[in-house]
Structure formats: C-alpha cells, structure tokens
Structure 1
Amino acid sequence: MILSYFFDSISSLWLQLNNVDYEITVVLFTVSLLVLAGAWTAWISKNTPPLPPGPRGLPLVGNLPFLDPELHKCFQTLAQAYGPIVRLQLGTKVGVVISSPAAAREVLRDNDATFANRDVPELAMDAVAKGHSDIVFSPHGPGWQMLRKVCVREVLGSATLESVYGLRRREIRNTVRYLHSQVGSPVNVGEHMFLTALNAITSMLWGVTLKEEERTRIGVDFRVAVAEAMELLGKPNLSDFFPGLAWFDLQGLKKQMMGLVGRFNKIFDAITDRGLGLDGGKESRDFLQVLLQLKNEGDAKTPLTMTQLKVLFMVLPAVYFAGVE
C-alpha cells in the first residue's frame, strides 16, 4: 500500500513537470514566432517604397467588404478623405486609385511606358495572355509594339478599313432590309444595332475568306462564344484577389473559360484552313488575309506567330469597338 502510494506520487509529480515544460516550450515558441514576424515586417517596410494613404482594411480581405457597388461614388468619397491618389487593399493585392486630372495625365501620358504593364486577371491569363500573346495584357516591349503596329496600321488603318467597306455596307443593308420588313411591329433597335456592329466585325474578319452559308454558321458560333467570354470576364473572380486560390478554381470559371478557348481554336482553325488556300493579292481582303500575309512577311526579330493570330481574333472585336469610339 505504501509503495503503491509512493509510486503514484512520483508519477503525478513527473507529469506535472512535463506539463510545465510543455507549456513553457509553447510560450517560448509563440513569442519567437511573433518576434520573427515583427522583424520581417519591419524589414519589408523599411525596404518597400511608401504607399499612398488609404483606409484601413480587415485582415485577409482588406478593403473589399467596404467598397460600394457604385465605385465612382466610392472613389470620390475616398479622394475627398485621402487625396487624389488612394491605396486600397484588395484581398492580397494592392490597388491604387488615381482621381485627379493632373495625376491621370502623369500616369497615362507623361510616364505611360513606366505604367504600361498591368495586373492580368486570372481568366484573361488562361484565355488570351498565356505566353504574352495578346495586345491587351502583354508587357511593354518589342512584342507588344509589334502587335500594336499590326492593329493600328494594318487592321485599323485607313487602307484596310477602306478595303472592307463593301463588307460593312453589306451588313448594314441586311439590317435595313430586316427593319423594313418589321414595319408595324415593335423592334429592339439597340439590340439590332449591336448585332449589326458585331456582324460587320465578323464580316471584316473573314467575310471574303468564307462563303455565305459557312460565314453565317461560323459567325453565329463566334458571336455566341464572344458573348459568353465577355460575361465570364465580367464576373467577380476570387482568384483575382487571392491568387493562391487560382489552382482550386472554386467558382469553376477557369474550367468554363478553357472550354471557350477550345471553341475559339476550332473556329480559328476552320477559317485559317480556308484562308491559307486563297490568293492574298486581291483588292478586297478581309482581316484574316491581311494577318496571314503579315505573318508570312513578318520581322525575323519579332515574328507574328499563329498563336498571336488566334489571340488577335479573340480580342479584335473589342479593339475595333475601342477604335471606333
């Protein structure tokens, strides 16, 4: 009985000492982590240029919960409180809002080359920016300058637009005939004007290359794919604010976008098969024939690749609308 009591006392004392050592170890480890985190934060702050003033945000999400859906009003309020240049913490990313004409002129005109590169949305990266093949999100450099030259001088140049004048006129006449046939019936004019513009764009893309039935069929597929892509790109994407979550594709947007990219590739392959077999020396040429000729006659230092042609076809509707505006 006495021995049993003695051993029980020794065991209880041993466990208490172990628990004390464990608690001390946990406390020391926690304090060490806090000290290291503080030192790391101080070092980062010391070696990072100061950011503009801005509202304090919450951990992880930053200022996202406090942004008003009417962003222009929200930014106006922030500018009144913090000045013309405001910093916002958007998840794990930092955004800077420029709200004065002088600051905008400094960024967009005087130092445009410095601020030319931009943050690429995850869906755009998957769809058009992979390998820096597009004109919208490519970094400033020889490749981007070549794509800009192609769009401004060749695709949107006066000579090319004049050569596809007949294609635009054909689509406008088709719309006028349709509206005339609907006399006495309600018509959504805005919707038909948008469809006319999009039909004119697709006609300029491949209106000479494809025959009537094939042009209509592929044009419908292309318009549907463009509309779906624009809708996807306009949806809020968690991966844009938390890039670490991009691999998980929590909203399934990446999967949908990759499906659209496959459809664009099929459309492009179908029309390039026709375009490669045509004579590029015709007076009336569409954008496809112009781009194929540029690819064959391109600069050896910055050649126009087939991947870039595909991406241009995906973004040309937006580029054309921007050029018209």
Structure 2
Amino acid sequence: MWDYAGRDTAIDFGSATVRMHVRGRGVVCREPSLLARSRRSGRILALGVPAQQMAGRSPDVRLVRPIREGAPTETDEAEYLMRHLVRTHHRRHYMARPRLVMTVPSGLSSVHYRALQFSAYQAGARRLTLVPTPIAAAAGMGLIESGPEIAVVADIGAEVTDVGVIAFGGLVTSHTAHVGGTTLDRAIAALVRREHGVALSPAAAEAAKIAVGAVPRIGRHPARQTSVEGREVVSGLPRRLVLTTTDVQRAIEGPVARIVEAIRTGLGGCSPEISGELLSVGVTLTGGSARLPGLDRLIRERTGLDAWLGDDTGDAAVIGAAGVLRAAGSPPSTRDITPHPQPLTTVPQS
C-alpha cells in the first residue's frame, strides 16, 4: 500500500545541490538546486544541470536559486523543483505521495519552516518530517547510536555552516552561520576584480578554488597555479590570467576565519560536563566545502580539538535523514496526512 503511494523519500535541499534518497534505491539524485526561467514568458525552461549550462548564454534566461542560506526564498520554484524530483524518481507522474523527510539548518526560523512545509505538501508529500542537518549527517555517518555517545558535526555547505553537538541521540546545542563555499567563491571573484580589473563568473571562481584553494600553512610550501578566464571590466574584452595558491589564500582568509569562528561558537554552548568529553571526540566535518585542504588543521589549531573529514561524498545528511524516517516507523493510516511538519531533534531508536 505504501509503495503504491510512493516510497519513503529523503531530500537534502542545499543552496547549491539537492540530493534525494528513495527507500530501496539509495541516493537517486545529485542535482544543482537551480532553475532557468524565461524573462519574457515566465516559463521554466530547465532545471538542474541543463539550467546550469544555460547560465549567461541568453539574455532571455534568468537563473533562479529557490534555496538561499538553507531556506526557501522562492516558494513557487522550490515547489516546482521538489515536485519534479518526486514525480521523476518515483516513476508516477501524478500519483506519487511519499512520506517525506527533509534536512534543515538547525537555526531555521519559523517563517522558513512554514514556507518549506507549504512547498513540500504542494509537491505531493503526504507526511513531512524535518531533521536538523547536524543530526542527519551524524546519523548518516553512524556517529550516533543508542547510549551516551557524543558527536560534534560541522556541516559546511555552500551558504551555511551548521554546527551541532549531539549526545544521547539528541541535539544538545547548535549554531548556524551564513558562510560557506559560495562565500569563498565571491571572495575570490572580488580579489580578482580589485587587483586585476577582471570580472569572473561564479563558475570560474569556484574552479579556481577547487584547483588551487587551500588554507594558509605555516612555513614554505610549493605554490600551485591555475588559469582562469574572465572579462576586463574597462574594455569588456575577454582575458585570461593566472592565479596561484597564494592569491586564493589571501582571498579566502576572511571567510575561512568566519567558518572556524562558527565552529568555536557552536562548541561554546556546551555544558561543562559535555565540554570535558569533547577533547576525546573531536569535530567531524561534512559538506562540500569541508574538503578545502588544510581546513581541518586550522580548526585543530584554533579550537584545540581534532578535526577530520567524515564525509567525502556529501551524501551523509540525506542518507542519515532516510535512516531517521525509517526508524520513526510507518504512520497508522493512509488517511493520516499530517497538517504540520514534525521537527525532530532526537533520533528515534529502531
């Protein structure tokens, strides 16, 4: 009966990437959370990778990001993207009504909760559960089980750094900061514009960050370099220039310091009893921006806690959210359509 209505579905709706997990099939989708809309007609032309490829290639195309800083800012577009994913990956174009669990920043406001609730139910969810991203990521990496285990998770995404301290399967304290990988990209583009008079696209700035980006190290280390293409601000002509590791390090120094400060703030909300145990636990890093070389070392220096990358695929949060929904069990009736989302701050024990 439940499979007919739609298999249990988990969605990690990030500012840059949306991931979907369907029960029995695993992670079925990793797409840019992006839509392309026609300026003249208002019609949605493409979504995901095809929309990303249309960026800047036609004056009629406007790119829309329905999720900003972990929250839905374009409700209609968020609903459209969610409905498309549900119908496509459930293979039921108009009948899919799955139980849905979504990851949300731990500091999400009540206004954004209601906006996400509206989009999810309009997209076809028959039941909605919201799970804070640190809990979902910890569950996906197997860091929390029954018992007094303590885990510290720092999810560093595109626009949000979400830090959570988890004990006894519940969220003890958390902190959300609006800084992430996109902030680093903007800092790189700003430095190139300021020092070289060249405007870079967001994609070019991100490519430079991936190619030579690193947290500044102590001592002498060989510098890498990469070439990027942009447009001269004065003449409007195309120009290619070379960026080195040192250039990118100077650009991202400020945003990286904000990420580390967010982790320090999240750790500072613990009770003395829990704080004493954090020295043996350390900080587990997740999210796409956590892969920045040298970031774990800098966190170790600034917090005194060991730090390591626990999720190199970015799928931990959506896998953990699926596990939370599975542990929560099945609803009692097909007519039980929850009018309000169920925010979970503890992990149900199966």
Q: TM-score, normalised by structure 1?
A: 0.29
Of structures 1 and 2, the one scoring higher in RCO (CA 8 A, sep 6+) is 2
Which structure has the larger Rg over C-alpha atoms? Answer: 1
Higher strand share: 2
Higher helix share: 1
